[in-house]
Amino acid sequence: MTTDNTMINPDDTALVLIDFQPAMYQGVESHDRLSVMHNVQTLAKTAKLFGLPTIISTVAKDSFAGPFMPEVTDLFPDTEIIDRTSINSWVDENFRKAVAATGRKKIVLAGLWTEACVMFPTLDLLAEGYQVYVPTDACGDVTPEAHERAVQRLVQAGAVPMNALQVVFELQQDWARGETYDGVMEILKAHSPYGIQVRFSKWALGEHASEAG
């Protein structure tokens, strides 16, 4: 187990998204499902913006659970989706190879459900020496208690709890980082309440200001 509370950055981190599929969403009662969907998109768009290697995995896609949410997969058209039979992604050889191929030791991991499809591979990743960061608001479980007990166990094992916007801000670090600034603003506009302020600020400093002038 490796415990590391240092911040993530674009050069040392990969993103893993597991089982955001219709059948799995149906069981989520710990969070508002729409909120989880927004937070997963926040993670995916952030990974795309900052160039993080991204792994996408499904379970029983064709026989039971359905396709991974297209709002995410459409962002990564060249990424092969790893379909599994195992509850624990780490049991799947293709998944393990994909993680190793990223060359990254910090893994941001989110999935459905927290108690199984998030916890099981996280425990194995920690045992293999990876540092795992779990944005818990982009995960979900069958009850609030199931989610919370799973998060507690993950933290005790050495995983670092986060939230989706924290991932965005840790990677951005400085609003003067111009190459990603506009992309971050677009993510905030699309998937966070702060997007209201972003829209207002652009109006106040843009069209409205020009009219006043």
Catalytic residue among 14, 28, 117, 151: 117
- Chain-centre distance of CA 124, in angstroms? 18
Rounded distance between C-alpha atoms, residue 44 and residue 16, angstroms: 9
So what's the pLDDT on residue 198? 81
- The reported pLDDT for the residue numbered 25 is 97
Q: Give dist(CA 29, CA 199) in Å, integer.
A: 32
pLDDT: is 203 or 97 the higher one? Answer: 97
pLDDT digits (tens, 9 = 90+) for 140-199: 999 999 999 999 999 999 999 999 999 999 999 999 999 999 999 999 999 998 888 888
Starting at the edge strand found earlier in the chain, the sheet holding 13-18 runs 82-84, 54-59, 13-18, 106-111, 131-135, 160-162
Is the entire prediction scored with pTM above 0.85? yes
Q: How confident is the model at residue 212 (pLDDT cuts 50, 70, 90)?
A: very low
**pLDDT for position 67:** 97
8 contacts 134 by C-beta, under 8 angstroms: no
**pLDDT value, residue 203:** 60
**How big is the chain by its Cα radius of gyration, in Å?**
18
**Look-up: residue for tokens 């540092």?**
131
Structural domains of the chain in order of their starting residue, each with its CATH number: 13-172 (3.40.50.850), 174-213 (no CATH)
- Whether the upstream peptide bond of residue 203 has omega within 30° of 0, thus cis, is no
The burial class, CB within 10 Å (0-12 / 13-18 / 19+), for 175 is exposed
Token pair for residue 31? 């969070």
How does pLDDT run across 40-49, given as a tens digit for each residue? Answer: 999 999 999 9
Nearest to 111 by CA among 121, 123, 99: 121
Query: According to the model, what pLDDT value does residue 213 have?
Result: 46
Q: For residues 121 and 117, what is the distance between their CA atoms, to the nearest angstrom?
A: 7
pLDDT for res 98: 98
Closest CA to 73 of 109, 96, 47, 94: 47
Q: What pLDDT is recorded for position 6?
A: 86
Return the beta strands (E) in the chain as ranges.
13-18, 54-59, 82-84, 106-111, 131-135, 160-162
The whole-number pLDDT of residue 204 equals: 57
pLDDT tens per residue, range 66-110:
999 999 999 999 999 999 999 999 999 999 999 999 999 999 999
* pLDDT of amino acid 1: 46
Confidence of residue 4 (pLDDT cuts 50, 70, 90): low
Q: What is the predicted pLDDT for the residue at 205?
A: 58
The answer to whether residue 210 scores a pLDDT higher than 50 is: no
Residue 117 bears catalytic tag: yes
* Rounded-to-integer distance, Cα 157 and Cα 208, Å: 52
Residue 81: predicted pLDDT: 98
